[in-house]
Structure 1
Amino acid sequence: MRITEKIFNFNKGHYPKIPEGCKNANSTKAKNEYLLKLNELFPECDVGFLREKLCSVDQNHLQQVIDRLLSMDKSGDKGGYPRRVNQFIIEPWELVRSQSYRKAVRYRLYNDFPETWRSTIKAILAENNFDYRKSFEKLKDLTTNNWWNSIFSIFRRKLYKEMENPELLEEIQKLQYVKLEEQSKADHEIAKQVNFSEYTNNDQLITCGCCYGIFPFEDLTCCSEGHLFCKDCINHLVQEGLFGQGSLRGKQINCIEQAGCDGYFTDDQLKSTLLPDVFKNYLDSLVEHSLKQSNLSLVQCPFCNYCEVDDNDLFLTFKQFRIPKSSKSFILLASLPVAILPLFTSFESIFSIFTALNVVIILILPQIVWNVMGVYPLKAWVSELDNIVKRRRRGNVFKCQNPECRKTSCLLCSRESKPFHKCYEREQDSLRLFVEKAMADAVKRTCPKCHISFTKADGCNKMTCRCGYVMCYLCRKDLRQESYAHFCDHFRPIPGQKCKKCNKCDLYKTEDEEKVIKEAATKARNEFLKSHPEARGVNLLENNVIGPVTNEGMLYS
């Protein structure tokens, strides 16, 4: 009876269970399982804080820590629990360490740094959760070759017997591998210098086909036809093509030989030539281009380019009512006598016109009525029903599988999904997002061909999209044929003054973006409050808004 009363009164009917595969709730393995569960429930909480609270209790671990964290977050105890930047991610060194591992690490560091005080080593270990690699790097930076260390090394203490801990041995092996990698990079740099000097002494340096600099053969890359270029030129070419005008996104990198060449650079050549992040962006552009060409229904992560095929697409199609071709020829033959009647009498001509119009209306009216009252509303209703079914099947949470992202997002509001997530939880968030979008839309331009939005940082008002479309930044006119003739070329004594000879757009003058942003924010706020009366008490200041910057203190006058 006492046990039953304790379960229902104190634990609210929940009996704490030991994780599967663990014999003791206080074992290191069990505590790490608890820590992973807490990380899923509180992904924004600092891992060190979770680990500290978990190790401070000896029974009913999860419930006690969860109650403590919820009470801190609700009451605002010292600003709530500490937050972290990388949510949902726990590094291996942040897990709970066993006592055997801690002792083995301590003895190992005593032997690695015999001239360092034990108290210093213990403090460094405590700061880094007894992780060997992080503590080793920290102690390596703290240790200096001064005269005190030289004197202290004379009275070097005896070595400790090291413990054979598998986890520690694995970390030592990884640390040695890192040292070998660093040594290999240093040797490679020395080899490059020796190689360059040998090429120079033998007068065998090769000229780059783009910048005409001279380089060793190992510093050059070639196209499929054998033309040689330095790696800097290829990197600049691809970076401009990807991040500048965007003319190389999703396309093959062709040879840049000035005499003309049909060759191209293979993926293996680009991988060994380009910087790692540039090559990755190039591959992403190829994948993005292929997905666009496939016309598949995709679900994309709002924080990166990762996407998945939507398997829940029902592929619903509707056909509009149209008059058969055989009936069209019959209508023309039937209307022919009526059309000939006006050639004989004037009175019959008027009557025949009205008769022909009535025949046409009677024949076309069913098509119009069916499409307007039947097909279009039914298509919209079934499409909305299709979206509801797909959301139910797929769920509202999307987990990104990109190793560099790994974020969980909400498909309804496109924001990062956290435990107890609610879309637009507060009216202030909804108003802020609405105003931010209006402020961004006020200063950005959208390409009518590929629908990519962009803004101008500097330069002239002739804007070239990465798809090849050219437009005026001021009036949005298509300039693919007109080019710079669209802009005024008359001399003006005062730069920026309005031209008195023509009404063409200025090549460099831009609109007052600060004024446009402020007007858009005011208009958006009034529009939102008109449609959401419950949010009239929300006070949205400029520092609550993430959008284009204005120089004035307030958004609204």
Structure 2
Amino acid sequence: MPAEQEDQHAAATPHYKYRKADVEKDTRGIPLAQQDKFRSKGYKEAAKEALYMEFKGLSHSTIKAVLAEWNWSYTDARPTLLQLSSNSWRSSITNFFMRRKTPTAADHPLVMWLAPESRSGRGKRPLLVKTKSPELDQELYETLIVPELEKQQKEQVQQDLELALQWNEEEAEKEGEMYDCECCFIPNTLQQMSTCDIDGHYICFRCIRHSINAALYDQGWARNINTEMCTLKCIAPLASSTEDCRGCVPMSYIRRALLLEPDGEDTLQKLHERFLSEALTQSHLPLIQCPFCPYAEIDDLSLPTTNLFTGLRIKRRPLILASIPIFELLCFNAARAALSTVLLLLSIVALSTYILPTPFLSPLTTPFQTALRRVHLKRRGLRFQCLSPTCSRTSCLTCAAPWYDPHTCYSSQLTSLRLTLERATTDAIKRTCPVCNLSFVKSDGCNKLVCLCGYSMCYLCRKGLKVEGYTHFCQHFRAVPGERCSECEKCDLYRVEDEERVVGRARERAEREWWERQGDGAGGRPEALKGVVERKGVRLEDAGEESANAWGWWWWWWRFRWVDFDAWVEKGVEGLFV
């Protein structure tokens, strides 16, 4: 697979004859994905023992087969085992309380709960039972214990804050230290108040939160926010004047007011992102923006003051080869005269750039600058990497779609979705041998499968059949073939699994997860994207026909001649500069 991925990446990445060598990145220390690593023997044994303890109603061979399908990952194999255990009557009572998609610390057999301490006021605390593998212990701790501890810590901090505010308000009422908000006229403590920076109007934190929410989620941005100062305007009404107060609330008070709410950090982050977006919009700079978040970069190649010769070097070999016939022509008087004339004209053009105004030189310099800009754009490529720590996604500069190698604009989504659905449907019906890790699919025949290594297993429940053999399957006679046996719960030898239902469920889950990975910047459904592209093509074609009808043959002649000239200039720039 790595060789195939390299070939696909090489075929999709544009190569140029005189492209500078990319700086080699040091990939040492970057961890691999957990599903790409080889599992150690200790981890496999610990994962099997943990699952044996949790799923006592399933056979050991079934658990090993499911682990082999998921690269012996405990966390990834558990949902499949939960689904299999729901078909067993022996574990129906346990699964009624433990049927969840992801492991939790509330009902896991490897998690012990310490009794609450009355002296310290601590509640129940989770404690992980160690296994024989430190790797599995770390995985279980991060999956089960850490979320529970973080949840308890947040609840404790919120309870302490509410209790402190309640005590502070009671003490302030006793001492008469309550102050009225000049916006809602509700008395509050001094710790719940802010003041504007001009007239000192008292504004409570509750009014600040309401104003920020109205600015972000309603139509109160222009009314409540001062974009120049990046803060909240004073919202206190003035009785003696028809104008509003020109003061602003300092950002420190806004931060304190928002952080008192459970979702205050998200609101504060959205407020900062809105400030950044407004500042970038008002700057009128050419930007390259991430389609998945507000992150943006200045497009240096679109700035008029950009030095397009930066990073370019003259190729010595083509220049030397081109100068050889020129030196040979210098032996003739006519050639020397022609060369002198050319040098004189070039000197006049170079001198005119400092004397004549720009409009007179634009017909001469525009093709050359356009060619230089296109060369820089080709060397930069279409792949855009977002540097935001909360996003860090890659996208295409042309179609704004998520970047997956190999990438093709306006069709990569369709290809990616198709491959994802095909992979999901294959994984839903395939079986993996726990001995040699060979995956296979049953096309017809009985449900006893024999691997190339000699391992035999049941296709329905994945249990090993080395000891039982065909006695694992139901031996009772049935009047109507295909009906479920009423005397036992063994697997049927020839019963066909409802693959359409399994495949349909897997396709729906894979498609839902695929669209969640695409985010809001994916451009919508493929049909919508295709329709947009087709509509754009119609508009461009209609525009070309209107221009052709207005100018006639002269428009077409000038269009093709200018395109040819522009292409020749670009080829000359690519051949002269590195």
TM-score (norm 1): 0.41
* Structure of greater relative contact order (alpha carbons < 8 Å, 6+ residues apart): 2
